[in-house]
Amino acid sequence: MAALPKRIIKETERLAKEPVPGISAVPHEDNLRYFDVSIHGPQTSPYEGRDGTVKHTHVHLSNVHVGGIFKLELFLPDDYPMTPPKIRFLTKIYHPNIDKLGRICLDVLKSNWSPALQIRTILLSIQALLGAPNPDDPLAPDVAKRWKEDQEGAIATAKEWTRTHAMT
């Protein structure tokens, strides 16, 4: 494999030095283009994995996130940053824009990719997608249908999946 471009080294260094709150991305030792990512479910979303009654301040003090933590894998192709990184959810998630295999429907990961985007901005976009599901542009049609017809039920299922899959 070709030498690691300076940009990837810089991004990795910055991710370690100034991590984005609620997001961590650590490269594999044997392949520095492959990252283990974990994203905390955004607050007040069904993926938060916590009842709204619990005070957030308490959690921040203990410095341990007790809510839903979603694992993802991220791979930077050889021609990154000219092509977008490949990202997939490893944790099961009930979301209209994420399918059973963990693939994500997000414009900036496909047609709207720009080489000026970075790993951190993309992961922030994914975290934002968790906070704002978009059933009008679905990847999992059954989830999107339920989301439109019975939003409360769908949110309840999403909360339950978060509890069972993202809180171990």
Active-site annotation, residues: 105
Q: Where are the alpha helices (DSSP H) in 18-88?
A: 56-62
Of the listed pieces 3-11, 25-33, 134-142, 146-154, which binds another protein according to CB under 8 A? 3-11
The correct pick among 49, 68, 81, 133 for binding another protein (CB under 8 A) is 81
Cis peptide bond upstream of 115, omega within 30: no
Site string for another protein, 120-149 (x = CB under 8 A): ------------------------------
Q: Which stretch binds another protein (CB under 8 A): 48-56, 78-86, 151-159, 160-168?
A: 78-86
Nearest 5°: CA angle at 134, between 151 and 159?
45
Q: Report helix, strand and coil shares of the chain as percent, to nearest 5.
A: 35, 15, 50
* Chain position carrying tokens 């542009």: 137
Residue 7 makes contact with another protein by CB under 8 A = yes
Q: Are strands 34-40 and 23-27 parallel, antiparallel or unpaired?
A: antiparallel
Spell out the residues 6+ positions from residue 50 whose beta carbon is closer than 8 angstroms to its own.
59, 66, 67, 68
Q: Does 110 bind another protein (CB under 8 A)?
A: no
Q: Which stretch binds another protein (CB under 8 A): 37-45, 92-100, 114-122, 145-153?
A: 114-122
- Between helix 151-165 and helix 141-149 the angle, nearest 10°, is 130
Does 83 sit near another protein (CB under 8 A)? yes
Per-residue interface string for the shown chain with another protein, residues 10-29, x marking contact by CB under 8 A? xx------------------
**Dist. CA 52–CA 91, nearest whole Å:** 22
* The binder of another protein chosen from 4, 77, 78, 112 (CB under 8 A): 112
Q: Which residues bind another protein (CB under 8 A)?
A: 5-7, 10-11, 81-83, 112, 114-116, 118
